[in-house]
Structure 1
Amino acid sequence: MKPEAQLIDQVSPLSTEELRKINAYWRAANYLSVGQIYLLDNPLLKQPLTLEHIKPRLLGHWGTTPGLNFIYVHCNRIIKEQDLSVIYITGPGHGGPGLVANTWLEGTYSEVYPDVAQNEAGMKKLFKQFSFPGGIPSHCAPETPGSIHEGGELGYSVAHAYGAVFDNPDLIACCVVGDGEAETGPLATAWHSNKFLNPIHDGAVLPVLHLNGYKIASPTVLARLSHEELESLFIGYGYKPYFVEGSDPEIMHQRMAATLDIIIAEIKTIQREARRNGVAARPCWPMIILRSPKGWTGPKKVDGQKTEDYWRSHQVPFAEMATKPEHVKLLEQWMKRYKPEELFDESGGLIPELLELAPKGVRRMGANPHANGGLLLKNLNMPDFRDYAVEVSKPGQVMGEATRVMGTLLRDVMQLNENTRNFRVMGPDETKSNRLGALLEVTNFTWMAGTLPEDEHLAPDGRVMEILSEHTCQGWLEGYLLTGRHGLFSCYEAFIHIVDSMFNQHAKWLKVSKEIPWRQPIASLNYLLTSHVWRQDHNGFSHQDPGFIDHVVNKKANIIRVYLPPDANTLLAITDKCLRSRDFINVIVAGKQPQLQWLDMDAAIKHSMAGIGIWAWASNDQDAEPDVVMACAGDIPTLETLAAVDLLRQHIPDIKIRVINVVNLMAMQPQEEHPHGLSGKDFDALFTIDKPIIFAYHGYPWLIHRLTYRRNNHKNLHVRGYKEEGTTTTPFDMVVLNDLDRFHLIGDVVDRVPRLSRVGAYVKQFVRDKLVEHRQYITTYGEDMPEITNWKWPYS
């Protein structure tokens, strides 16, 4: 039987007195929201409003705010009545005035910011600071108590809400989705998160699709759909929609209260039956479609033009205060319609009978500890990563798949934390492909949709989450981390760009939250980027792009970390470090294909701790100055560098080579710019101040120049990396196409070491011949030459 949309009418659960108080509380929130946008002074309008009381620059968004306030006050009622744990996620872009207003009314704001007290002086500060230099942003930023979702960029609210309630069985996330946000691709996909929500172990999301009709200057798509089409759409998504529609406050309060009563009862019934029976069948979760006027309760017309229930109320309904004195009067009339004298006492605090409407303590949505996840964060129970070591008795002799080895570590992390249920792995349909399949030995893919007899590893209580939307995967993980849990996001390197902007927003969140004393540290956002640029020979050019690293290093140094482990043991050490870290974004780039292994576990630990170092076993300059420094970062560049070193030592026996491997990319930056950066003295000791440096790098070569342009020996630095050449070809041909192969590296050494000019012609001829042989061989046999595929490090 299919669910039917519900329009609750002819029901009045609120008594006359309850209705009066709820409406008054809503008026108070609206009054405070308008005041934040407009006022510098005279917060209670005890004096006639003048231009001096108004901000010179009017910034903010009014249109969505009264609807957000309406939902908030009704959440307060149901929380208090039924002792619920609820967080409030605001998708509508700049709904900040409403959330700040409501957390001030409930007392949370003044607790974390004592100087913004619940009195007239505090109200004045509340108003002045909003969108004001030295103040707070206009959206629900980290500074806003109760917020885990900025709302400055649209599309992620639903994914964040579901991520927050996974493994939080008693939590409800009220997620307001603006009708502008509902037009975004990430949001459209995130509706399907209900196919992953387990009513036994997880909490519930209450989506509220808030249709107020308009974006900045044009209609929204969903607001122009008929009731029947909207009903069909969301039933198709798997929800049971309830409609709350209208503009008359008294009628709307009764409808919203009645609807929430029914929905919370349904959520409790779903969870109670699933938990009692132990059967996690996918239900039709309820949701609300709220239609209310844009700019509700604001001025209906300004300068003769429609404002309320129209796009003109989206931001600041009217400005030009200095040139249009009638606007000052209009503002005063608007704010006085809320009757502040009935809402606030003489000192500026909310009157006692309205204070009683807010929940108490941690039941307040602004004070819910799930919205300050570090308060709830528990350390992962971690195995000893050294137990998973690949045995390496000699460098470059043993083959291994780095991410497959990492997968066994993650498997046991998952199992050791099974009881606490605070670790998940997420990615877009690539867990097995990325060699992390060992996870499926102890858990399954999370799956609440239909199954077939032949399906494998699908289960409602699975803890590996896959959906072919990078946005949804990251949104889930961010919501999970921000509410105090741990996780990892695995993705093909080329397609992690899809979430460039989400990465931006999370990096900004972490940057700001680190500066807020009451925000506790959360587990780091960990990316594993595999199926990387140098081993996409079967997929071709479309799958070849290492540029996410360039994007990452634009962010603050105290937020981002980039690791390029050259082998499995180093990857194990780095993974352990990342899973234990707090308040970082860790990017790990590691290939999944079989590769030569270089370091035993003891050496790998030391190397990963240092982040950069001379590989003495590969160098022969211990008793003299090097002729050349050969540096590498990344597994394939490391392989090609060492193969080049071998050939150079064969063809030029007296050459002195120093080999440096970089596992922590940020070590290349000066110490003054990144905490992991090398000091100038240490950098010079490693790279010399005057010798040629041939640097084989995993990504775009100019990033290394950007990180090192202030170094003493930068003039002698020559970087090889990816240069946008690729196709469906052999693994070695990929590096040849981009001039990163061993033969091109040899040519660079000959060209840049002055004393080799006399003997270099023969070596250069060898290089040219080998490249010709390579081309002829792969076009004949379709695979790389045996001397390439069978090469191993020949020295002890």
Structure 2
Amino acid sequence: MATRTADAPADLDARELQRVDQWWRAANYLSAAQIYLMGNPLLREPLRPEHVKPRLLGHWGTTPGLTFLYAHLNRAIRRRDLDMIYVTGPGHGGPGVVAATWLEGTYGEIYPDVAQDVPGLQRLVTQFSFPGGIPSHAAPETPGSINEGGELGYSLAHAYGAAFDNPDLTVACVVGDGEAETGPLAAGWHSNKFLDPARDGAVLPLLHLNGYKIANPAVLARIPEHELLELLRGYGYEPRVVSGSDPAVMHRSFAAALDGCLDEIDRIRYRARHEGVVERPRWPMIVLRTPKGWTGPDVVDGQQVEGTWRAHQIPLSDPRGDPDHLRQLEDWLRSYRPEELFTADGAPVEEIRRLNPSGTRRMSANPHANGGLLLRGLRLPDFREHGVPVPEPGATSGQATQVLGGFLRDVLTRNRLAANFRLFSPDENNSNRLGAVLAATSRAWMGEPDPGDDSLAPDGRVMEVLSEHTCQGWLEGYLLTGRHGLFSSYEAFAHLVDSMLNQHAKWLKVSTGLAWRQPIASLNYLLTSHVWRQDHNGFSHQDPGFIDHVVNKKAEIVRVYLPPDTNTLLSVADHCLRSRDYINVVVAGKQPAPQYLGVDDAEVHCTKGIGIWEWASTDRDGEPDVVLACAGDVPTMETLAAVDLLRRRFPELRMRVVNVVDLMRLQDAREHPHGLSDVEFDALFTTDKPVIFDYHGYPWLIHRLTYRRHNHANLHVRGYQEEGTTTTPFDMCVLNEIDRFHLAIEVIDRVPGLGYRAAHAREELLGKLVEHRRYVTTHGEDLPEVRDWKWS
């Protein structure tokens, strides 16, 4: 493969490049050793089968490219005193990143049993992809990592999220050619339209093309180069290409390209910060073409390996059982000349150590990659000052998220100087009634505005792009580097980031068990435009299942809140913005709805997470005949309306109303930190009375959370039944049988002893359902008695 790039400048130091090559060889040696060895880590004796792991797990193919880039970035950091972190999109390059952090010394500082000596080397190679060891990806256990990489597609979004509001930071982001085929990565290229060079850091994309994925050619590696460069320029970048396989030539060529890119980044920053230039720059990037499995075995068992898909994972599949493979493995490892790279004590030689940056300039020790070290709490306004007056429960109406918008506006204002809070939304900020925040900030936008555009500015703190993946990736990168944020979305479309939530939950689960990883701000979701008020958009927008997905995650990590009105939403939001190391999901409607609790009562109710609403209950003088429970704003309204219907017809009926804000309170205390004990649960729900539970989402989730409870056999849950269309708000409730009429009928059917009147009342309620259907299909709106209902 020929090497092609611009001529290298004359000032590149040959000795410096020699150190780069030594460092790279050492990293490659350690990477291959991690994949294969469990003994004899420095080949101080001939390699024997028992030195090789019985199960070979790992990926070699992308690794030498990642170590090549890391070595050159270290040279640049030392020369320029850069504040830089390294984001590795190719998750399968884990051994290379671990090797780099060990060579820098950070790994041994954090894990003393993996120090820079022979016992430490023994542990380093043995632990990789080994029981009781470490994963094969750049996971939370890896110093310097903020992108696990096991699920491809998010590296660019994470990198840009890290760069926002970090004006001195440069994020080197390696994009793998397989990763580059994913939708999230394709959208992530557009992040440069939101990066303000005057206030934000810089992202240097490094597109690593080694030609293959697991078994197929990589698209971007195979299209004609002029087409690739046109694509990247169309995204707004100015790419430089470095291509080849001769290490001596490649080192010099890449160093020249990297210096040119960093010079251009300096120029862009200077013009924005000192000359007042306000424009969207064309940011530089590098396309690096290298053979897959570079420097590894060339031919194995008569088949070409280096430069082909066969190098993706384990180039030599059976060195324990095949003497030829064992010989090739030893020849491969010795080709790096480890005797030149490590001292007799097992430490890197002085020339290698001299390439490492010092202290926190090491990418593996940069505090931005351990964001809790930099995290500062938000200056929050008193949410009570935003509370709405509620003279009597249900007597007034309000829009919960609209009021929350005012609270978030004040959060932005109070933290303007700290520049550590942003809102992320896929084009739904105003739709979800959070428009008040635009009084404190604008939407981030680096392009030229057109007349009539609404609140666009380079320094805007509302991040809107019609890609849920990009919004979530930005927010994750922002949180992982020590800041705070909130993601608002239509409820149904939160599913688009299901897999991203998976990865973040796994990250939090592991990182909370690492003493050196400091807590980060929680990932906060606000889901509105929810299932019960997507009557105008129809079935495609009606799905409350994101909650079910979240509840599958570790109990220590996830929290789900269903505030029934404005003041409870304010209390929940305040709590979530103060929390650490959680994934908080808040579901709240944006449409006008009844208000039940004054702000002080709301705080008490949210602190408890669940409670009896005495003002709505009729069981004060004895045990209840029935418990009506509710979770969610619309189910709460329908439950109260059912209580209203029943108390007028059966004044002697003793009903208890239990409202649930914190969904995880329903779970057993042995299963979730917020869970109720059996005694607490029984006190609320009884041990033998029917419980009619009106729930916001899919009803079986409530059964999952409560299946161990004493009274589970008497629990009857109503929720979303996958029935939906474009219709009226109340008709959505009727279609899924969470409405007041169905609830009242259920109570009549479940409570014995209501007497002869029960049959007549039941018939009347069934008649109301028929009347409703006739009315909505004739008039296109809900019955006046439903539309105008108020609790009284």
TM-score, normalization by structure 2: 0.99
SS state of the match for residue 756, structure 1? coil
Quick one: which of 582, 585, 590 aligns to 2:583? Answer: 585
Equivalent position amino acid for 2:448 in 1: G
Report the CA distance between 1:457 and its aligned residue: 0.3
Residue type of the partner of 1:53? H
Distance across 2 between alignment mates of 1:503 and 1:353: 43
Given that 1:11 and 1:255 are in contact with CA atoms closer than 8 Å, whether structure 2 keeps it comes out as no
Aligned counterpart in structure 2 of residue 90 of structure 1, from 65, 68, 88: 88
The reply to whether residue 170 of structure 1 matches residue 160 of structure 2 is no
Note the alpha carbon deviations across 1:724-772, whole angstroms, 9 max, x for none: 0010000000000000000000010011111136432111111111011
The one-letter amino acid paired with 2:396 is V
Question: What pairs up with 1:114-129 in 2 under 5 angstroms?
Answer: 114-129=112-127
Is residue 13–residue 257 contact of structure 1 (8 Å, CA) maintained in 2?
A: no
Where do residues 52-67 of structure 1 align in structure 2 (5 Å cutoff)? 52-67=50-65
Distance 1:773 1:541 in 2: 24
Corresponding residue for 1:689? 687
Counterpart among 326, 342, 345 of residue 343 in structure 2 = 345
Paired residues for 1:670-681 under 5 Å: 670-681=668-679
SS at match of 1:95: helix
**C-alpha distance in 2, partners of 1:15/1:90?**
27
Letter in 2 for 1:107: G
1:202-225 per-residue CA deviation (whole Å, 9 max, x = no partner) reads 000000000000000110000001
Q: Deviations over 1:550-596 (max 9, x none)?
A: 00000011100000000000000000000000000000000000000
Alignment pair present for 1:444 and 2:442? yes
Within a 5 Å distance, the mapping from 1:581-730 to structure 2 comes to: 581-730=579-728
Q: Partner residue of 1:732?
A: 730
Residue 31 of structure 2 aligns to which amino acid in structure 1? S
Q: Which residue of 1 aligns with 2:240?
A: 242
CA shift at 1:653, angstroms?
1.3
2:574 corresponds to 1:576: yes
What is the Cα deviation at residue 193 of structure 1? 0.3
Equivalent position SS for 1:242: strand
Write the letter of the residue equivalent to 1:178.
Answer: G
SS of 1:329's partner is helix
Task: State which of 756, 759, 782 in structure 2 corresponds to 1:761.
Answer: 759
Residue in structure 1 matched with residue 178 of structure 2 by the alignment: 180
Is the partner of 2:532 in helix, strand or coil? helix
How far the C-alpha of 1:522 sits from its partner, in A, is: 0.2
Cα distance in 1 between the residues matched to 2:450 and 2:634:
41
1:793 is aligned with what amino acid?
A: W
More divergent stretch after superposition (769-778 vs 7-16)? 7-16
Q: Which amino acid aligns with 1:58?
A: L
What secondary structure, in the 3-state scheme, does the structure 1 residue paired with 2:397 have?
Answer: strand
Equivalent-residue separation in structure 1 for 2:168 and 2:34 (angstroms): 34
1:527 maps to which residue?
525
2:319 and 2:329 in contact (8 A); partners too: no
- Which residue does the alignment assign to 2:253? 255
Q: 2:86, 2:173 within 8 Å by CA — same for their partners in 1?
A: yes
Q: Is the 8 A contact 2:26 2:338 kept in 1?
A: yes
CA distance in 2, matches of 1:572, 1:10: 58
Question: Which letter does structure 1 place at the counterpart of 2:779?
Answer: Y
Paired residue for 2:19?
Answer: 21
State the match for 2:283 in structure 1. Answer: 285
The letter for the 1-side match of 2:192 is N
- Alignment partners' CA distance in 2, 1:404 and 1:540: 23
Distance 2:378 2:276 in 1: 27
Shift of the alpha carbon at 1:12?
Answer: 5.3
CA contact (8 A) 2:178 2:213 kept: yes
| Correspondence 1:38-77 to 2 at 5 A | 38-77=36-75
Give SS of 2:38's match. Answer: coil
State whether residues 609 and 662 of structure 2, in contact with CA within 8 Å, keep that contact through their aligned partners in structure 1.
yes
Q: 8 Å contact 2:562–2:588 — kept in the other structure? A: yes
Deviation of the 1:642 alpha carbon: 0.1
Partner of 1:3: none
1:248-397 pair list within 5 angstroms: 248-397=246-395
Name the counterpart of 1:470. 468
Whole-Å separation in 2 of the counterparts to 1:9 and 1:15:
15
State whether residues 49 and 321 of structure 2, in contact with CA within 8 Å, keep that contact through their aligned partners in structure 1. Answer: no
| TM superposition shift of 1:620 | 1.0
Q: What secondary structure sits across from 2:211 in the alignment?
A: coil
Gap runs ≥5 in structure 1: 1-5
Show the counterpart of 2:211.
213
User: 3-state SS of the aligned residue for 1:699?
Assistant: coil
The AA in structure 2 aligned to 1:118 is: Q
For residues 234-278 of structure 1, what are the alpha-carbon distances to aligned partners after superposition, in whole Å with 9 as ceiling and x for unaligned? 000000000011000000000111111111110011001100133
1:531-570 correspondence runs (5 A): 531-570=529-568
Check whether the contact 1:750–1:757 (CA below 8 A) recurs between aligned residues.
no
CA distance in 2, matches of 1:75, 1:60: 24
Match of 1:296, SS?
coil
Residue deviations 1:456-483, cap 9 Å, x none?
Answer: 2000000001000000000000000000
Which AA in structure 2 matches 1:343?
L
Amino acid at match of 1:360: S
Code of the residue aligned with 1:736 in structure 2: it is V
Q: Distance in 1 between matches of 2:784 and 2:700?
A: 33
Task: Specify the code of the residue in structure 1 equivalent to 2:766.
Answer: R
Q: Is the 8 A contact 1:160 1:476 kept in 2?
A: yes
CA distance in 2, matches of 1:247, 1:12: 22
Query: Which stretch of the first structure deviates more once superposed, 753-762 or 738-747?
Result: 753-762
CA shift for structure 1 position 11: 4.2
Deviation per residue, 1:67-125 (Å, 9 max, x gap): 00000000000000000000000001211101100000010101111110101110110
Residues 1:689 and 1:522: Cα distance change in structure 2 (over 3 Å) = same
One-letter amino acid of the counterpart of residue 775, structure 2: Y
Cα distance in structure 2, aligned partners of 1:757 and 1:650: 15
Shift of 1:127: 0.3
One-letter amino acid of the structure 1 residue matched with residue 368 of structure 2: H
Whether contact under 8 Å (2:561, 2:585) holds in the other structure is: yes
Question: CA–CA distance in 1 between the matches of 2:777 and 2:735?
Answer: 14
Q: Secondary structure at the match of 2:33?
A: helix
Measure how far apart 1:625 and its partner are: 1.1
What letter corresponds to residue 675 of structure 1 in structure 2?
P
Q: How many residues align?
A: 789
1:320 deviates by 1.8
The yes-or-no answer on 1:415 pairing with 2:413 is yes
| Matching residue of 2:771 | 773
TM-score computed with the length of structure 1 as normaliser: 0.98
Letter in 1 for 2:598: D
Q: Which amino acid in structure 2 is aligned with residue 459 of structure 1?
A: A
